[in-house]
A and B are shown apart, each in its own frame.
Chain A
């Protein structure tokens, strides 16, 4: 595999990891701050000698929580990025669930033909969506509207939505790879049963560890 492809493969996973971990942490910290200040306020009521200190800690946390209004907008944006960055990656892993019930009964030659048509249609889908979203991003760019709650950091709406055409563009490339692989007889179908396989992978990892003393 050439180094650019390998680096890109790595980057996909790193991005997914950072985005998911990021949105979880941001949401968690927001919840924590939102519930913590009342704890300090009630502590202040019960421990009179530390009242002032506790009240000011509570105030500080409340201030932080109120400052964090951007947290929901930020985690939503990361959520969007996670989904659309992940699309292409899902194609590479064959993770998108499909029904191959009918096709499996065909002869090998027919299976290859059907698979090529199927991937061709997937390519058309990506192209359509990439085109559609590109128009949307262009419109947002012209309008120049700031993103809700995030505009104070200079983030515009089109910065967030930009990921949609990029995501579909990358997905298009991945499907192109699949197309070539099928053409060269390196692969037959599109992929597997998604959630089922993943749940399994986690469980077998766990089993391997579980057998250790």
Chain B
């Protein structure tokens, strides 16, 4: 009864156009006031709690780092480097676009940011070299989802907060799946390029590769700082994020000199806006999730699932379907906060590794980012290319098959996610 009210209120509020954050908060608040004995005061306390999570502070820091790298020309340099490395292969520009997305994803924790940074430069370039615009848009929109799979990742930070798992371990677990998905997409393009006879760039000389590599090195170094710093225990993920933000600002202003001091406040304010919006969703989703836990929903669902005797394989199919559906109309962070507390205890019961579950959830969220109606990557791609949203959706849809195949692989081969963190002894 309580739960039915909670979810019906949520959907009713959301579909008349109320912001997702307020829909989550208000449906949670109404449920608490109507069905429980908690004081009104507890609402505000719950909302404010989100700002007390030290882990979540990594989110504004990573967004700030991403903003500095997008406005300062790090993306440009990464793309030049990628072109020099793989441009000479058949379909080279498209493969280089994927590589650029992978590199930028390793610096940024957000998928829309990756699409915007890489797509705004790469798609026009591909069209000039004779690629179809739809093809170019489809590739970048898809590869951009790597932003949340390849560390750092904002969605992983949220998952770690919701389930109290280690952010560092999740980041490491994302490395191999991220690279694998990138290679998956590249191979698909390579095959398509031979079938459709796509153009190739002239082979870049070794000096050229070195030269572009040297120009991109300051951006690439950040990967080492973030992952190396967290892995060696020099800093926590939150601290790593703060270091990344300062480093990105320093590189943009003093080394690349793409920005002046006076442009800094604008960039900080933009990152601030993203942070506020995201944190408001997270705070309200936490209030919503709080209702679920006080109503003992996770426990009763877990009991039911165990009683039904689901095998882990069957359970994971259900997980994927639920997440795919949720992913089409909600914000990734909100989904993680609402569903992780429900799925996590069941997974524990069935002996599924929490880190593996995290990676499965992230890959599902990636697919959610490129499916209508609320796939953020679709909006960014459509705006970057000037293509109507419907045409963008059509351009992206064939790539969904690759993503789904990859999802199945990641779901049923835990070694892909768990191999690296285990090998590193984390």
Stretch in B205-213, B274-282, B417-425 with 4+ CB within 8 Å of A = B274-282
Give the total number of A-B pairs whose CB atoms are below 8 A apart.
251
B57 touches A27 (CB 8 A): yes
Q: How far is the CB of B83 from chain A (nearest CB, A)?
A: 14
Q: Does B197 contact A (CB under 8 A)?
A: no
**Known contacts A98-B20, A189-B17: A20-B268 contact under CB 8 Å:** yes
Contacts of B280 in A (CB 8 A): 83, 86-87, 90, 96
**Known contacts A83-B276, A209-B73: A117-B16 contact under CB 8 Å:** yes
Q: B375's closest neighbor in chain A, by CB?
A: A196
Q: Does B387 contact A (CB under 8 A)?
A: no
Contacts of A82 in B (CB 8 A): 60, 272, 275-276, 279
A96 touches B17 (CB 8 A): no
Stretch in A47-55, A57-65, A126-134 with 4+ CB within 8 Å of B = A126-134
Q: Pick the contact of A31: B21, B239, B275 (CB < 8 A).
A: B239
Contacts of A132 in B (CB 8 A): 29, 40-44
Task: Give the CA-CA distance A195 to B19 in the complex, in Å.
Answer: 13
Interface of B is mostly: helix
A188-213 interface (Cβ within 8 A of B): 189-191, 193-207, 209-210
**Known contacts A31-B243, A90-B277: A164-B44 contact under CB 8 Å:** yes
Contacts of B376 in A (CB 8 A): 193, 195-196
Q: Pick the contact of B54: A72, A103, A207 (CB < 8 A).
A: A72
Q: Does A139 contact B (CB under 8 A)?
A: yes
B266-309 interface (Cβ within 8 A of A): 267-281, 283
A199 touches B276 (CB 8 A): no
Interface of A is mostly: helix
A199 touches B380 (CB 8 A): yes
Q: How far is the CB of A158 from chain B (nearest CB, A)?
A: 12
Contacts of A19 in B (CB 8 A): 272
Contacts of A193 in B (CB 8 A): 374, 376, 379
Task: Give the CA-CA distance A190 to B21 in the complex, in Å.
Answer: 13
Q: Does A70 contact B (CB under 8 A)?
A: no
B271 touches A199 (CB 8 A): no
**Known contacts A96-B19, A164-B44: A194-B274 contact under CB 8 Å:** yes
Q: B76's closest neighbor in chain A, by CB?
A: A210
Q: Pick the contact of A16: B13, B40, B276, B281 (CB < 8 A).
A: B276
Q: Does B15 contact A (CB under 8 A)?
A: yes
Q: Does B64 contact A (CB under 8 A)?
A: yes
A-B contact pairs, 18 of them (CB 8 A): A23-B57, A24-B61, A25-B246, A82-B279, A86-B273, A87-B276, A121-B22, A122-B19, A124-B26, A125-B22, A193-B374, A196-B376, A196-B383, A198-B270, A202-B70, A203-B70, A203-B117, A206-B120
